[in-house]
Structure 1
């Protein structure tokens, strides 16, 4: 998932050892082979193109470590966030497919299947947790992606502000949320810190309502999403979507930080960390470190969204929504797969996720990071169910359009019914790779 630094393009090339030729097309791809003077092994360069600038330092760390394992392998890391999808498609259409590139997981595994190496029988696939391996698997049963990280998506709550307002428990129903808002505002506390300038935060909120609507319809979230993609159901068929979701959005705008369409991810983190919002919407575990850099002793708690009058539907969505892909036509395919097998199975790799990247490991037998949110998740899921990461059942082309429609809705240029109509049309048009 693209997080934190919207509107910022970070282009970073990390070069280790001797600089290989760059700027060539995929036939060479900067991977000219020469004999290593120290090891006698062929010198190769792996070109990675990713969209996660928040993990730049962490990626650099495992690249540096791998240089000790394989001195003949150099890894060029290029990171971009703004316009990443556009640039990636341009690279692919020109035949300059990076050796490693990033996409969303789930449905987009099929979108880029023709460019992706089959990793089904590799040790790295066996190392993934079962639920995450499913998110990396195509409809024909092949593992075509590598999880960037495990994730959880939830509301983030400042418990000190709730306590100040006399709120003894995090709201889990819409009625409890309304009561909490009243108490917070009575103390002069703004209830919501939003980041509605970002298109991607909308999908993170919306999926919780999709999960509840599916439960009410007695079907899976994937079945419900497939119905929308097929055009066989509507928002009006699901009150949690047609009524509750829009009521929630309206509530967060009315009782949130000012100028919501001007608040990006970084502004939202700052607002929340400095006590200008009791609930942080549209985000997840990846923001904990950024929040604590501003206010180290903040008392955080993760929570599900109050989507209905059923407290059990306030769940936390878990899974993996971002995938790395290895180009099946890479001239350094063998070396690239070997590198990721090392990362996902070695002792260093198992500890890299938690100790260096400080994310929820997507692999088995790896420790959790020393952060509050993952630890809270582990405790919560001992007694409660998790929500599906249902964003994975639609393509990001749909989610981006969805976010743009919702921005127009809260900006006042679209009515609710017009927004609903356009979302349903976008789901049919952009929701599936088929």
Structure 2
């Protein structure tokens, strides 16, 4: 469980840039985290401390906090957002007994990791409001809904339609050979093919999962079963050409034919490179970047496509689901009021529209409109005729994914060979991949 993960952290440095203080409200006597669905009539002041790792939604979070103040004037929600070292700081706070009232984790495997600190939301209206796929991402191995999604998500290779058209690429590449050909055509027109953000550890998992899905399909098993075999040390990367060959070939391709100094380019720099027309493809990202892209270049024509992971065009699919979860501290003194707040967000008319109109994300709940953005609309059209890939990042913990990113950074930096990287990835999977 989480104690295993925290044991690896000997010290930490708190980063600046916090929007508000976050104090612990845990260890309330007699409070088991259960909540009623009735609105509280109390006018007693209530403070909810919320700790998240999603700075891109700062304005959107503040919008629903302000709106809820109209509904419950006695409730104050303190929002603290941190991106760098968020996981380390969160684990440190939990270990110190100052768990925030609301905190953020990844979904999937991490639902179990933080189960001991999470309120059971199974019978709450917010759980009933979730789409079936999203609810599954929020559910523990023993069938309890222990998280609530920040958003629905879309993972895809993003491209500049005009740059591809100018290079004579009339159809998006769906195979590795077609992608190689597209790279040649782009460079012949003087266009850099790839904008990279390899300074970030988390972009790697978004790319890798597409190749995990292909490897699983090629070997006749589910992505979850394949990942579990890696976690148990029962298989190796070399057994799957999609992982050993195709994934590394793709990374090599993006480095060789991408923007300069890829290990120095973070997410913001990558978005700027793409939005300003310096590169044709944006890798490792998804629907959350559209707003930032359009702020830089409102006229950019964005397209989305599956990664060309093999010589099988049918394996070039987009991936959808929910990979980020908010958790409500079950021992918080304000657990009831916190659950009441999120029940309001997930079931009210304001909440249903908040996802699409304020946050401008893919709603994780039923009966909510899609945002007026290109990528969600293209996703909706694609899924009418094609399947979504499996959100296989959810089957490993972020402790593994972070180590995976560090290994890949060392690989493209030249301090590790491919086989050294492969061996260390396999070791990391067995060491960090599971909460058990």
TM-score by length of 2: 0.93
Q: Distance in 1 between matches of 2:339 and 2:175?
A: 47
Q: 1:383: which partner in 2? A: 385
Q: Name the count of aligned residue pairs.
A: 412
Q: Distance in 2 between matches of 1:375 and 1:236?
A: 38
Find the partner of 1:354 among 353, 356, 361: 356
The aligned runs of 1:27-106 (5 Å cut-off) are 27=27, 41-106=43-108
Q: Distance in 2 between matches of 1:24 and 1:48?
A: 10
Task: Tell me if the contact between 1:25 and 1:95 (Cα under 8 Å) persists in the aligned partners.
Answer: no
Deviation at 1:43, TM superposition (A): 1.4
Q: 2:311: which partner in 1? A: 309
Deviation at 1:42, TM superposition (A): 1.7
The aligned runs of 1:18-417 (5 Å cut-off) are 23=23, 26-27=26-27, 41-417=43-419
Segments of structure 2 that go 5 or more residues without pairing to the other structure are 1-13, 29-40
Deviation at 1:72, TM superposition (A): 1.1
Mapped pair 1:11 → 2:13: no
Q: Distance in 2 between matches of 1:245 and 1:422?
A: 16
Deviation at 1:159, TM superposition (A): 0.7
- Per the alignment, do residues 68 and 191 of structure 1 end up closer, same or farther by CA in structure 2, a change over 3 Å counting? same
Deviation at 1:10, TM superposition (A): 3.2
Q: Distance in 1 between matches of 2:207 and 2:16?
A: 25
Q: Distance in 2 between matches of 1:281 and 1:316?
A: 12
Deviation at 1:40, TM superposition (A): 6.1
- Per the alignment, do residues 295 and 81 of structure 1 end up closer, same or farther by CA in structure 2, a change over 3 Å counting? same
Q: Distance in 2 between matches of 1:260 and 1:117?
A: 41
Q: Distance in 2 between matches of 1:140 and 1:246?
A: 36
Q: State the secondary structure of the residue aligned to 1:133.
A: helix
Deviation at 1:298, TM superposition (A): 0.4
Task: Tell me if the contact between 1:228 and 1:234 (Cα under 8 Å) persists in the aligned partners.
Answer: yes
Q: State the secondary structure of the residue aligned to 2:370.
A: coil
Q: State the secondary structure of the residue aligned to 2:45.
A: strand
Q: Which runs of 4+ in 1 moved over 6 A?
A: none
Segments of structure 1 that go 5 or more residues without pairing to the other structure are 1-6, 15-21, 29-38
Q: State the secondary structure of the residue aligned to 2:192.
A: coil
1:46-105 Cα offsets, whole Å, 9 max, x none, are: 111111111011001101111111111111111111111111011100100111000000
Q: Distance in 2 between matches of 1:25 and 1:326?
A: 11
Q: 2:36: which partner in 1? A: none
Deviation at 1:26, TM superposition (A): 3.5
- Per the alignment, do residues 150 and 10 of structure 1 end up closer, same or farther by CA in structure 2, a change over 3 Å counting? farther
Q: Distance in 1 between matches of 2:313 and 2:409?
A: 28
Deviation at 1:27, TM superposition (A): 4.9
TM-score by length of 1: 0.93
Task: Tell me if the contact between 1:190 and 1:256 (Cα under 8 Å) persists in the aligned partners.
Answer: yes
Deviation at 1:23, TM superposition (A): 4.8
Task: Tell me if the contact between 2:15 and 2:85 (Cα under 8 Å) persists in the aligned partners.
Answer: no
Q: Distance in 2 between matches of 1:24 and 1:205?
A: 36
Task: Tell me if the contact between 1:10 and 1:81 (Cα under 8 Å) persists in the aligned partners.
Answer: no
Q: 1:418: which partner in 2? A: 420
- Per the alignment, do residues 261 and 274 of structure 1 end up closer, same or farther by CA in structure 2, a change over 3 Å counting? same
Deviation at 1:286, TM superposition (A): 0.4
Q: Distance in 2 between matches of 1:249 and 1:396?
A: 20
Task: Tell me if the contact between 2:200 and 2:267 (Cα under 8 Å) persists in the aligned partners.
Answer: yes
Q: Which moved more, 1:77-86 or 1:394-403?
A: 77-86
Q: State the secondary structure of the residue aligned to 2:279.
A: coil
Deviation at 1:192, TM superposition (A): 0.5
Q: Distance in 2 between matches of 1:134 and 1:366?
A: 18
Task: Tell me if the contact between 2:24 and 2:100 (Cα under 8 Å) persists in the aligned partners.
Answer: no
Q: 1:18: which partner in 2? A: none
Higher relative contact order (CA 8 A, sep 6+): 2
Backbone CA RMSD of aligned residues = 1.5
Q: Distance in 2 between matches of 1:377 and 1:136?
A: 22
Deviation at 1:41, TM superposition (A): 1.8
